[in-house]
Amino acid sequence: MSHHSSASAGHRRPQRHLPLQILLGFLVIYFLVPFWWVIVNSSKDAPGLFGGGNTLWFADQINYLGNLEQLFTYDGGIYVRWILNSTLYALAGGVGATVLAVMAGYGFAKYRFAARRFSFAVVLGALMVPATALVIPTFIMFAQLGLTNTVWAVILPSLLNPFGVYLMHVYARDAVPDEILDAARVDGAGEARTFLQIALPLMRPAVVTVLLLSAVASWNNYFLPLAMLSDNRLFPVTVGLGLWQGVASANNAGGTSLWSLIILGSLVSVIPLIIAFFSLQRHWRGGLSVGGLR
């Protein structure tokens, strides 16, 4: 009887999860179709792109190499400079924001100091403020300091990541036992050594998460560099592609080939993010395995 009931439950379970599986399948298709559209249309030249064919399938002639050559040589190879600028902003902003978030989150979680609750409440309040709302005040402040139209106008604001501080605080509070820290202090380890050799390895999954989120946010940043920068040689790839889009929209006759470069440039700009995600994914699995064994 029990075997029959367990078998019946096994048959009912897939039916119960069927609506959720259908929903997840729909979401996967919803997110993959635009990416597939970019892949397909990046292979087309201007006649193939505007010839009225199927936009979700390849044209008779696949022109990836020709489009790549045009992309990297157009306007003196400015796209390569935009990619390098985005790499600089993402690395400097991502690493710097992660370092500050790790130290601040660990400090809030493991130390008791004056105005600790008030300071953490300020961090939580900063989470509620949209980043775009701070662009104009930041621009005015940097203009007074003479830092607009420099790389520092993009890097320095990217170092502040309230969500990263909050995430590190929550993770350090639960993943780093106070007993281990006390034992290290009793053994004579200083605070810096205790943090670097004991606490930091235990926080590795959260550190990788904050690093990836900060780097992606810096890479995709658009409104801040648009407001801060006027020299197109300092543009990140997001603002650069927006500049090309404006040129192509204003000059439809001469901008047909430029649309092909914009689509291909969008595809190329996503590849570093995909590489970063898959290269850092093993650190998540390793950290979660360590946490499970602990």
Domains of the chain: residue spans and CATH: 2-65 (no CATH), 69-293 (1.10.3720.10)
Which residues, in sequence order, are CB contacts of 174 under 8 Å at separation 6+?
A: none
Read off the pTM.
Answer: 0.85
The first and second tokens of residue 180, run together, are 């281990």
User: Pick from 173, 179, 160, 166: which is nearest to 203 by CA?
Assistant: 173
Encode the chain (294 residues) as per-residue pLDDT tens digits.
Answer: 445 544 444 555 556 788 889 999 999 999 999 999 999 988 887 777 777 667 778 877 788 888 899 999 999 999 999 999 999 999 999 999 999 999 999 999 999 988 899 999 999 999 888 888 899 999 999 999 999 999 999 999 999 999 999 999 999 998 899 999 999 999 888 999 999 999 999 999 899 999 999 999 999 999 999 999 999 999 999 999 999 998 888 876 555 578 889 999 999 999 999 998 888 777 665 444 444 434
Whole-number Å distance between alpha carbons of 1 and 5: 6
Whole-number Å distance between alpha carbons of 288 and 241: 38
200 CB burial (10 A radius; 0-12, 13-18, 19+): middle
